[in-house]
Chain A
Amino acid sequence: QQPVQSPQAVILREGEDAVINCSSSKALYSVHWYRQKHGEAPVFLMILLKGGEQKGHEKISASFNEKKQQSSLYLTASQLSYSGTYFCGTEGGTSGTYKYIFGTGTRLKVLA
Protein backbone atom coordinates (compact mmCIF):
# COMPACT_ATOMS: atom_id res chain seq x y z
CA GLN A 1 0.00 0.00 0.00
CA GLN A 2 1.20 3.47 -0.90
CA PRO A 3 2.72 5.51 1.97
CA VAL A 4 0.64 8.52 2.94
CA GLN A 5 2.25 11.95 3.06
CA SER A 6 1.02 14.97 4.98
CA PRO A 7 0.26 17.70 4.41
CA GLN A 8 -0.92 17.34 0.81
CA ALA A 9 0.10 20.90 0.05
CA VAL A 10 1.76 23.80 1.84
CA ILE A 11 2.48 27.43 0.98
CA LEU A 12 5.36 29.23 2.66
CA ARG A 13 7.02 32.61 2.58
CA GLU A 14 10.77 32.69 2.01
CA GLY A 15 12.58 32.01 5.26
CA GLU A 16 9.79 29.99 6.87
CA ASP A 17 10.12 26.36 7.95
CA ALA A 18 8.12 23.29 6.93
CA VAL A 19 7.78 19.66 7.93
CA ILE A 20 6.61 16.94 5.55
CA ASN A 21 5.62 13.56 6.92
CA CYS A 22 5.58 10.11 5.33
CA SER A 23 3.71 7.28 7.02
CA SER A 24 3.57 3.64 5.97
CA SER A 25 1.27 0.79 7.01
CA LYS A 26 4.09 -1.70 6.36
CA ALA A 27 7.45 -2.16 8.00
CA LEU A 28 10.12 -0.10 6.31
CA TYR A 29 13.77 -0.88 5.76
CA SER A 30 14.67 2.45 4.23
CA VAL A 31 13.12 5.78 3.27
CA HIS A 32 14.34 8.00 0.47
CA TRP A 33 13.27 11.59 -0.22
CA TYR A 34 12.96 13.24 -3.64
CA ARG A 35 11.88 16.62 -5.00
CA GLN A 36 10.20 16.99 -8.36
CA LYS A 37 9.90 20.23 -10.30
CA HIS A 38 7.04 20.63 -12.75
CA GLY A 39 7.70 18.76 -15.99
CA GLU A 40 10.89 17.14 -14.72
CA ALA A 41 11.94 13.81 -13.24
CA PRO A 42 12.26 13.47 -9.46
CA VAL A 43 15.64 14.40 -8.00
CA PHE A 44 17.13 12.50 -5.09
CA LEU A 45 17.60 14.38 -1.79
CA MET A 46 18.61 11.86 0.88
CA ILE A 47 18.33 8.32 2.21
CA LEU A 48 17.53 7.12 5.71
CA LEU A 49 18.16 3.51 6.65
CA LYS A 50 16.62 1.45 9.43
CA GLY A 51 18.76 1.96 12.49
CA GLY A 52 20.58 4.84 10.81
CA GLU A 53 21.12 8.37 11.96
CA GLN A 54 19.20 11.48 11.07
CA LYS A 55 20.48 12.86 7.79
CA GLY A 56 21.03 16.45 6.82
CA HIS A 57 21.82 18.38 3.69
CA GLU A 58 22.34 22.12 4.09
CA LYS A 59 18.97 23.37 5.37
CA ILE A 60 17.10 20.17 4.58
CA SER A 61 17.18 17.28 7.03
CA ALA A 62 15.14 14.17 7.74
CA SER A 63 14.43 11.59 10.39
CA PHE A 64 13.21 7.98 10.30
CA ASN A 65 11.29 6.30 13.11
CA GLU A 66 11.18 2.64 12.12
CA LYS A 67 8.98 1.67 15.07
CA LYS A 68 6.28 4.08 13.95
CA GLN A 69 7.05 3.41 10.27
CA GLN A 70 7.29 7.14 9.70
CA SER A 71 9.75 9.58 8.25
CA SER A 72 9.77 13.37 8.34
CA LEU A 73 11.51 15.88 6.09
CA TYR A 74 12.47 19.21 7.64
CA LEU A 75 13.00 22.30 5.49
CA THR A 76 14.37 25.28 7.36
CA ALA A 77 14.65 28.89 6.17
CA SER A 78 12.97 27.93 2.92
CA GLN A 79 14.15 29.36 -0.39
CA LEU A 80 12.27 29.90 -3.65
CA SER A 81 14.20 26.95 -5.10
CA TYR A 82 12.54 24.61 -2.59
CA SER A 83 9.24 24.84 -4.47
CA GLY A 84 8.13 21.57 -6.00
CA THR A 85 6.51 18.29 -5.06
CA TYR A 86 8.21 16.13 -2.45
CA PHE A 87 7.95 12.36 -2.45
CA CYS A 88 9.12 9.75 -0.03
CA GLY A 89 10.28 6.51 -1.62
CA THR A 90 10.13 3.33 0.39
CA GLU A 91 11.45 -0.19 0.24
CA GLY A 92 9.70 -2.49 2.65
CA GLY A 93 10.55 -5.64 4.55
CA THR A 94 13.29 -6.49 6.98
CA SER A 95 16.09 -6.46 4.46
CA GLY A 96 14.55 -4.76 1.45
CA THR A 97 12.25 -6.35 -1.07
CA TYR A 98 13.29 -4.24 -4.07
CA LYS A 99 9.63 -3.30 -4.66
CA TYR A 100 10.20 0.41 -4.47
CA ILE A 101 7.09 2.58 -4.20
CA PHE A 102 6.51 6.28 -3.63
CA GLY A 103 4.31 8.19 -1.23
CA THR A 104 1.32 10.29 -2.20
CA GLY A 105 3.36 13.48 -2.51
CA THR A 106 3.38 16.95 -0.91
CA ARG A 107 3.20 20.10 -3.03
CA LEU A 108 5.34 22.89 -1.60
CA LYS A 109 5.16 26.46 -2.85
CA VAL A 110 7.55 29.10 -1.54
CA LEU A 111 6.56 32.71 -2.14
CA ALA A 112 8.86 35.72 -2.17
Chain B
Amino acid sequence: GIQVEQSPPDLILQEGANSTLRCNFSDSVNNLQWFHQNPWGQLINLFYIPSGTKQNGRLSATTVATERYSLLYISSSQTTDSGVYFCAVERGAQKLVFGQGTRLTINP
Protein backbone atom coordinates (compact mmCIF):
# COMPACT_ATOMS: atom_id res chain seq x y z
CA GLY B 1 0.00 0.00 0.00
CA ILE B 2 0.89 3.65 -0.18
CA GLN B 3 3.46 4.91 2.32
CA VAL B 4 3.44 8.37 3.91
CA GLU B 5 6.45 9.81 5.68
CA GLN B 6 6.48 13.09 7.58
CA SER B 7 9.45 15.08 8.74
CA PRO B 8 10.66 16.20 11.13
CA PRO B 9 8.99 14.05 13.82
CA ASP B 10 9.42 16.80 16.39
CA LEU B 11 9.97 20.54 16.10
CA ILE B 12 10.43 23.04 18.91
CA LEU B 13 10.38 26.75 18.10
CA GLN B 14 10.05 30.12 19.74
CA GLU B 15 6.95 32.19 19.18
CA GLY B 16 7.28 34.26 16.01
CA ALA B 17 9.45 31.75 14.14
CA ASN B 18 8.57 30.23 10.78
CA SER B 19 8.44 26.49 10.11
CA THR B 20 8.20 24.05 7.23
CA LEU B 21 6.75 20.57 7.61
CA ARG B 22 7.23 17.97 4.92
CA CYS B 23 5.15 15.01 3.73
CA ASN B 24 6.49 12.46 1.24
CA PHE B 25 4.27 9.82 -0.32
CA SER B 26 5.13 6.75 -2.32
CA ASP B 27 2.56 6.78 -5.13
CA SER B 28 0.29 9.09 -7.07
CA VAL B 29 -2.71 10.27 -5.07
CA ASN B 30 -6.07 11.86 -5.75
CA ASN B 31 -6.42 13.35 -2.30
CA LEU B 32 -4.01 14.93 0.15
CA GLN B 33 -5.06 16.67 3.32
CA TRP B 34 -3.26 18.39 6.16
CA PHE B 35 -4.73 18.22 9.66
CA HIS B 36 -3.85 19.85 12.96
CA GLN B 37 -4.50 17.91 16.15
CA ASN B 38 -4.73 20.26 19.11
CA PRO B 39 -3.54 19.31 22.61
CA TRP B 40 -7.06 18.09 23.47
CA GLY B 41 -7.05 15.58 20.61
CA GLN B 42 -9.37 17.29 18.13
CA LEU B 43 -8.30 17.01 14.48
CA ILE B 44 -9.04 20.04 12.37
CA ASN B 45 -8.87 20.16 8.58
CA LEU B 46 -6.29 22.66 7.39
CA PHE B 47 -6.05 22.04 3.66
CA TYR B 48 -7.31 19.76 0.95
CA ILE B 49 -4.44 20.05 -1.52
CA PRO B 50 -3.76 17.20 -3.99
CA SER B 51 -1.72 19.64 -6.09
CA GLY B 52 -0.77 23.30 -6.25
CA THR B 53 -0.59 25.93 -3.53
CA LYS B 54 -3.14 27.26 -1.06
CA GLN B 55 -2.96 29.86 1.67
CA ASN B 56 -5.09 30.49 4.72
CA GLY B 57 -3.82 33.30 6.92
CA ARG B 58 -0.42 32.40 8.37
CA LEU B 59 -0.62 28.89 6.96
CA SER B 60 0.08 27.81 3.43
CA ALA B 61 0.62 24.48 1.71
CA THR B 62 2.17 23.34 -1.52
CA THR B 63 1.89 19.92 -3.12
CA VAL B 64 4.14 18.88 -5.99
CA ALA B 65 2.27 15.81 -7.15
CA THR B 66 4.81 14.82 -9.82
CA GLU B 67 7.53 14.64 -7.16
CA ARG B 68 5.25 13.13 -4.50
CA TYR B 69 5.66 15.58 -1.68
CA SER B 70 3.77 18.30 0.12
CA LEU B 71 4.95 21.11 2.36
CA LEU B 72 3.08 22.94 5.09
CA TYR B 73 4.38 26.40 5.99
CA ILE B 74 3.56 28.15 9.24
CA SER B 75 4.67 31.76 9.52
CA SER B 76 4.96 33.89 12.66
CA SER B 77 4.16 30.91 14.89
CA GLN B 78 1.91 31.33 17.91
CA THR B 79 1.60 29.10 20.98
CA THR B 80 -1.84 28.05 19.73
CA ASP B 81 -0.14 26.45 16.72
CA SER B 82 1.28 23.77 19.01
CA GLY B 83 0.06 20.23 18.47
CA VAL B 84 0.55 17.45 15.97
CA TYR B 85 0.31 18.02 12.24
CA PHE B 86 -0.77 15.10 10.09
CA CYS B 87 -0.58 14.61 6.37
CA ALA B 88 -3.01 12.06 4.91
CA VAL B 89 -3.30 10.78 1.35
CA GLU B 90 -5.76 8.73 -0.62
CA ARG B 91 -5.45 6.67 -3.77
CA GLY B 92 -9.01 5.70 -4.68
CA ALA B 93 -11.09 3.50 -2.33
CA GLN B 94 -12.04 6.36 0.02
CA LYS B 95 -9.42 5.36 2.57
CA LEU B 96 -7.06 7.98 3.90
CA VAL B 97 -3.57 6.82 4.86
CA PHE B 98 -1.97 8.96 7.54
CA GLY B 99 1.63 9.79 8.19
CA GLN B 100 3.00 9.51 11.70
CA GLY B 101 2.74 13.24 12.27
CA THR B 102 5.02 16.12 13.22
CA ARG B 103 4.76 17.30 16.82
CA LEU B 104 5.19 21.08 16.90
CA THR B 105 5.85 22.90 20.16
CA ILE B 106 5.82 26.69 20.16
CA ASN B 107 7.34 28.22 23.27
CA PRO B 108 6.40 31.75 24.39
- Whether A associates with B in a native complex is no
